[in-house]
Amino acid sequence: MANIKFIGIHKSFGSNKIITDFNLLGKEDEFLVLVGPSGCGKSTLLRMIAGLEKIDEGEIFINDQKINELHPSKRQTAMVFQSYALYPHMNVYENMSFGLKIEKRPKDEINAKVMQAAKILKIEELLERKPKQLSGGQRQRVAIGRAITRNPKIFLFDEPLSNLDAALRAEMRVEISKLHKQIKTNMIYVTHDQVEAMTLADRIVILNQGNIEQVGTPEEIYNDPSNIFVAQFIGTPKMNILEINEKNIISENSIKLLGNDIQFGNIKLNKSKHFVGIRSEYLKSNQKSQFTFNPEIELIENLGNEKIAYMKYDEYQLSAKIPSSDEISNTIGFEFKDIFLFDQNGKRVKS
Amino acid sequence: MRTKNTIIFSLISTFFLIFLVSIWKILATLQGLDIKSLNLEIIFIFGFLTSLAHLGINDKIKTIYKSIIFSLIFVFFDGYLMQKLPLWYNIGVFLILYFYTSKINKYNYESLKEEHSTQVILFDFLTLFGILFFSFVILFPFYMMLVTSFKTQIALLVNPLDFSINFGQDLKDLFKSYFVIFKSYKFGKYILTSTIVSVGTVIITLLFAIPAAYAVARLNFFGKTFLSTSILIIYMFPAIVLVIPLYTIFSQLGLRNSIEGLLIVYTATTLPVAIYMLQGYFKSIPKELEEAAILDKLSWFGIITKIIIPLSIPAISSVALYVFMIAWNEFLFSLMFLDNPNSFTLSRAIQYLSGDAETPRQYLMAGSVIVTLPVLFIFVYFEKYLVSGLTAGSVKG
C-alpha cells in the first residue's frame, strides 16, 4: 500500500553516466518490472531506492515522503538479492528474525512474524537449518521470507531467479506471482529476462542505457511497442526488422515490401529510410495470407511444439515461428495488421 | 619397458632403504658420517635382491609373513656383520626393514608394465624421503632437548651422547630439572610475563587489525591504495635496523624493562601481517551480506561485530595464532629492551641462563622444552583453523 515516485533521477559512476533523467510514477500495490540489457542501470535504480547507492540528482518519494536522505533501514523497503545474501552463520529462523531482533521487538512478535512468513513460503520445516544445507530454491525462499518479516511497503527484487536452474526458475516465478496476489504490496523487480518480465509484471519498464524506452502493461508492450528496441527486446526469436530505403517507398502511404505492394491508411511517409517489423510468430506457412513471398529457407530448428525457420529473401534475414503441425513450404505469408512501421530513428509510425 | 621399470623400481627403493638404515646406524652408533663402516654395499645388494624377490613372490605368500621373513633375513646378515651392537639396534633395523617391505608392497609385477609407473614410484619415494628427512631434521633437536632435560648432571658428564631416557629412576629425579628451574630460576614468573606479553599482543593486534583490515578491504578513503600497498613495507627493514633507534627512544621514554614497551613493539611488528591476512579474507566475504545487514538496520560497528567477525573466525584465529607464536618466540627485541631479570620473557631468560657458565645444561634444556610446549599444543589444537584460514578466500566456496 504505497506509491513510489521518481523525479528526474540522475546517476553516474565517475564520468560514466548510468541513469539520465529518470521519471516514473508507480501505482499502489503494483508489480513493476524493470527490464533491460545488462548495464542499462536497472539494478542501480533498485539500489538507489533501497539506499545502497547515493542519488546524484533528483528525488524519490515513497507515499509522498522524500527518501533521498533517509537511512536505508528507514525507507520501509526490503530487498531480495540475486546471491540471496543469507547470513551463513545463522540458521533460517535467525536469518529471518535478524532485522526484528536488531530493532529489539518483543520475542512473541518476532516469532509470530517469522512463523507467518514461513507459512506463506512453506519453509516451516527448514527453520533450524543453516543456509548451506539448503538448495538454491529454498535459499531464495528464505531470502524472500526475510524480506517479508521486515513488513516493507515496497519489495525490491534484484534478479532473484538468475542463480536458479531453468525448471526451478519457472517454479519460483509462479511462486512470486502468487505471493504478490497474497500479500498485495508494491514490488519492484529487476530482471534481464523478458519471460519473467512478461509473466510477472503489472507494468513493465523497459530501460536502455539509463533511459526509459517504454512503460506499459505486458500486452501494451507486446502489441504496441513504441520503438524498435522495445519491439526487438520482447519476443523470441527477435522481431524481424526489415530496412526500407527510399527506392521502396512508392508513395506517401504505400511501400514495396518483400515483393508486395503494401498500402497504409492515413499516414504520410517522406522519402527517407524506414523500418518494418514483423514478429516471427506472425509469419505463417500458407498461401492464403494477405501477402506472400518466397524466401530461401536456410535452416529449420525443431523445438517440438513449434519450428523456427531461418530464411533469406534478397538481402533480408528473417525467422519465422511455425507450429509443428504446419508443413513448411517455401511460400511464407503475413497479414497487414501484423506489420509494425518505424521511422529512420526507430520510432514507431502509427496509422 | 618392464625390465627398465623393474630395474628403476629396485634402484629407487634400494636407495631409500640405504637412506633409512644409514640414518639409524649413525644415530645408534654415533660414529659420524664414516661411509666405510656403514656397509653400504651389503645393504645395496640386499635391498636390490629384496625388491626383486618381492616382485617374484608377488602375493603367493601373505604380505605380513613376507615382510617378516625379509626383515629377519636382513637382520640376521646385518647382525652377523656388526656383532658388537646391542639387541635394540637390531630391533630398530628389523622395524625399518618391516616398514620398507610393506612400503614396496603396493607395487607388483603387473603395475610395472605401465609406462608411467616409474614416475609414480619416483614421486612416491621422493615424498616419503622428504617427509622422513625433514621431520627428522626438525624433531631430532627437540628430542635431544627433551632427553637432556631428563638427565642428571652426572649422567650428562659420563656420556653426553646417550640418547636414551632412564625411566628406571624415581619420577622426582626424572623431573628434577623442571622442579629446579621453577624453584631456583623463577621460571614461573617468566612464563607469566611471556603469557601476558603474548596474549596482550594478540588482543591489541586484533583490536587494531580488524577495523583496519575492514577499512582497507571495504571503505573508500583518501590514500587507500597507498596504505594497502605500503602495509608490508615495514618488513623491508631488518629488525636489527629498527632496534637501535627504538632502544634510544624507549630509554628516554622509560619504556625499557616494561611489558608495555614490549607490547608496543610487538604489536607494531605483527600488525601489518595481521591486517594483510585479514583484509584478504574480508574481501572474500560477499558485499551483499553487508548490504543485507544495512537493510536490517545494522550500524557499521554492528556489521563488523555481528557479520564480519563471526564469518571470519577461521582467519581471525589463524592471525591470533600467528601473532601469539611471533610474540612468544620473539627474541631480538626482548634481548635489547630487557635487562632486568624481573621483567624477562621466556626466550630472554633462556638466553640469560645460557650466558651463565654455571647453569647446568639440563636446566637450560628443561627451560627450552617449556618455551616450546605451549606453542606446540596451541598449534596442534588450532591447526585446522590455521590451514583453512590461510587458504580461505582463494577459492569461492
Q: Which residues of A touch B294 (CB under 8 A)?
A: 51-52, 72-73
Residue A261 bridge partners (DSSP) = A256
Q: Which pLDDT does position B33 carry in this prediction?
A: 55
pLDDT in tens, B78-130: 777 666 667 777 788 888 888 888 877 777 777 777 777 778 888 888 888 88
Residue A89 sits at the vertex; the CA angle it makes with A84 and A95, to the nearest 5 degrees, is 55
Residue B226 sits at the vertex; the CA angle it makes with B223 and B227, to the nearest 5 degrees, is 80
Nearest to A83 among B286, B295, B298 (CB): B286
Note whether A34 and A188 are within 8 A (CB).
Answer: yes
Cβ-defined contact of A103 to B294 (cutoff 8 Å):
no
Residue A51 sits at the vertex; the CA angle it makes with A50 and A53, to the nearest 5 degrees, is 115
Q: Which residues of B touch A83 (CB under 8 A)?
A: 286, 288
Q: Calculate the average pLDDT of chain A.
A: 89
Q: How far does the CA of residue A103 sit from the closest CA of chain B (Å)?
A: 7
Nearest to B292 among A77, A85, A103 (CB): A85
Q: How far does the CA of residue A125 sit from the closest CA of chain B (Å)?
A: 24
CB of B301 within 8 Å of any CB in chain A? Answer: no
Nearest to A89 among B294, B296, B311 (CB): B311
C-alpha cell at A327: 508443413
d(CA B363, CA B179): 9
The residue ranking higher by pLDDT, A257 or B263, is B263
CB of B307 within 8 Å of any CB in chain A? Answer: yes
Interface test with A, best of B281, B294, B297 (most A CBs within 10 A): B297
Note whether A58 and A6 are within 8 A (CB).
Answer: yes
Q: Which residue of B has its CA nearest to A155?
A: B295
> How many Cβ atoms are within 10 Å of B32's Cβ, its own excluded?
7
The residue ranking higher by pLDDT, B29 or A57, is A57
Q: Which pLDDT does position B388 carry in this prediction?
A: 63
The residue ranking higher by pLDDT, B331 or B154, is B331
Q: Return left, alpha or beta for B338; rule: phi > 0 is left, psi -120 to 50 is alpha, else beta.
A: beta
CB of B289 within 8 Å of any CB in chain A? Answer: yes
Sign of CA dihedral B30, B36, B37, B43: positive
**High-pLDDT (> 70) share of chain B, %:** 92
Q: How far does the CA of residue A157 sit from the closest CA of chain B (Å)?
A: 12
Q: Which pLDDT does position B35 carry in this prediction?
A: 62
pLDDT in tens, A112-148: 999 999 998 888 899 999 988 888 888 988 999 999 9
d(CA A289, CA A303): 24
d(CA B209, CA A273): 65
Sign of CA dihedral A322, A325, A329, A332: negative
Model ipTM? 0.82
CATH 1.10.3720.10 in chain B, residues? 179-391
Name B204's Cβ contacts closer than 8 Å, sequence gap at least 6.
B263, B267
Q: Which pLDDT does position B396 carry in this prediction?
A: 37
C-alpha cell at A337: 495488421
Q: Which pLDDT does position B394 carry in this prediction?
A: 41
Alpha-carbon radius of gyration of chain A? 24
Q: Which residue of A has its CA nearest to B312?
A: A89
CB of B309 within 8 Å of any CB in chain A? Answer: no
pLDDT in tens, B17-62: 888 888 887 777 665 556 666 677 777 888 888 888 887 777 677 7
The residue ranking higher by pLDDT, B394 or B183, is B183
Q: Which residues of B touch A146 (CB under 8 A)?
A: 292
Q: Which pLDDT does position B82 carry in this prediction?
A: 65
CB of B297 within 8 Å of any CB in chain A? Answer: yes
d(CA B372, CA B375): 6
Q: Which pLDDT does position B355 carry in this prediction?
A: 76
The answer on pLDDT for B397 being more than 50 is no
Q: How far does the CA of residue B306 sit from the closest CA of chain A (Å)?
A: 10
Q: Which pLDDT does position B45 carry in this prediction?
A: 84
Q: What is the DSSP letter of A227?
A: B
Cβ-defined contact of A79 to B295 (cutoff 8 Å):
yes
C-alpha cell at B254: 622509560
Name A140's Cβ contacts closer than 8 Å, sequence gap at least 6.
A80, A84, A160, A161, A163, A164, A172
Q: Which residue of A has its CA nearest to B286?
A: A85
d(CA B71, CA A333): 92
Count Cβ–Cβ pairs < 8 Å, chain A vs chain B.
49
Q: Which pLDDT does position B395 carry in this prediction?
A: 40
Find the helix or strand (DSSP H, E) in which A306 lies: strand A306-313
User: Could you tell me whether strands A203-208 and A316-323 are parallel, antiparallel, or unpaired per DSSP bridges?
Assistant: unpaired
Find the helix or strand (DSSP H, E) in which A233 lies: helix A228-233
CB of B292 within 8 Å of any CB in chain A? Answer: yes
**High-pLDDT (> 90) share of chain A, %:** 38
pLDDT in tens, B331-352: 889 988 888 888 888 888 888 8
Q: Calculate the average pLDDT of chain B.
A: 83
Q: Which residue of A has its CA nearest to B297?
A: A73
Q: How far does the CA of residue B57 sit from the closest CA of chain A (Å)?
A: 51
Note whether A211 and A20 are within 8 A (CB).
Answer: yes
pLDDT in tens, A249-306: 887 778 888 888 888 877 777 778 889 999 999 988 877 788 888 888 899 999 888 9
Q: Is A29 helix (H, G, I), strand (E, B) or coil?
A: coil
**CATH code of domain B179-391:** 1.10.3720.10
d(CA B224, CA B215): 9
Nearest to B292 among A77, A81, A103 (CB): A81
Residue A148's alpha-carbon distances to A67, A117, A154, in angstroms, are 21, 6, 10
Query: In the predicted model, what is the mean pLDDT of residues B237-247?
Result: 86
The answer on pLDDT for A2 being more than 90 is no
Interface test with B, best of A47, A52, A151, A158 (most B CBs within 10 A): A52
Cβ-defined contact of B288 to A73 (cutoff 8 Å):
no
Q: Which pLDDT does position A351 carry in this prediction?
A: 67
The residue ranking higher by pLDDT, B118 or A241, is A241
Nearest to A98 among B288, B296, B311 (CB): B296
pTM, rounded to two decimals? 0.76
Nearest C-alpha neighbor of B266 from the set B359, B338, B215: B338
Query: In the predicted model, what is the mean pLDDT of residues B278-288?
Result: 88
Nearest to A88 among B296, B298, B311 (CB): B311
Nearest to A83 among B288, B296, B311 (CB): B288
Q: Report phi then psi at A33, rounded to 5.
A: -115, 125
Q: Which residues of B touch A82 (CB under 8 A)?
A: 288
Q: Which residue of B has its CA nearest to A49?
A: B295
C-alpha cell at B215: 577499512
d(CA A158, CA A47): 9
Interface test with B, best of A48, A79, A103, A153 (most B CBs within 10 A): A79
Q: Which pLDDT does position A94 carry in this prediction?
A: 93
- DSSP code string of B214-281: HHHHH---TTHHHHHHHGGGGGGS-HHHHHHHHHHHHHHHT-TT-HHHHHHHHHHHHHHHHHHHHHHH
CB of B288 within 8 Å of any CB in chain A? Answer: yes
Q: Which pLDDT does position B362 carry in this prediction?
A: 85
Q: Which residue of A has its CA nearest to B293?
A: A99
End-to-end CA distance of chain A: 39
Q: Report phi then psi at B233, rounded to 5.
A: -60, -35
Q: What is the DSSP letter of A238?
A: P
Q: Which residues of A touch B288 (CB under 8 A)?
A: 81-83, 85
Note whether A34 and A46 are within 8 A (CB).
Answer: yes
The residue ranking higher by pLDDT, B199 or A288, is B199
Q: Which pLDDT does position B391 carry in this prediction?
A: 53
Residue spans of alpha helices (H) in chain B? 2-29, 40-57, 63-81, 87-104, 117-149, 153-158, 171-174, 176-183, 187-218, 224-230, 239-253, 259-284, 287-295, 300-302, 309-311, 313-329, 332-337, 346-355, 361-391
Q: Which pLDDT does position B79 carry in this prediction?
A: 73
pLDDT in tens, A140-181: 889 999 999 988 899 999 999 888 888 888 888 998 999 999
Note whether A217 and A204 are within 8 A (CB).
Answer: yes
Please name the amino acid found at residue B221: F
**High-pLDDT (> 90) share of chain B, %:** 13
Q: Which residues of A touch B289 (CB under 8 A)?
A: 85, 87
Q: Which residues of A touch B292 (CB under 8 A)?
A: 79, 81, 85-87, 146
Q: Which residue of B has its CA nearest to A87?
A: B289
Q: Which pLDDT does position B15 carry in this prediction?
A: 86
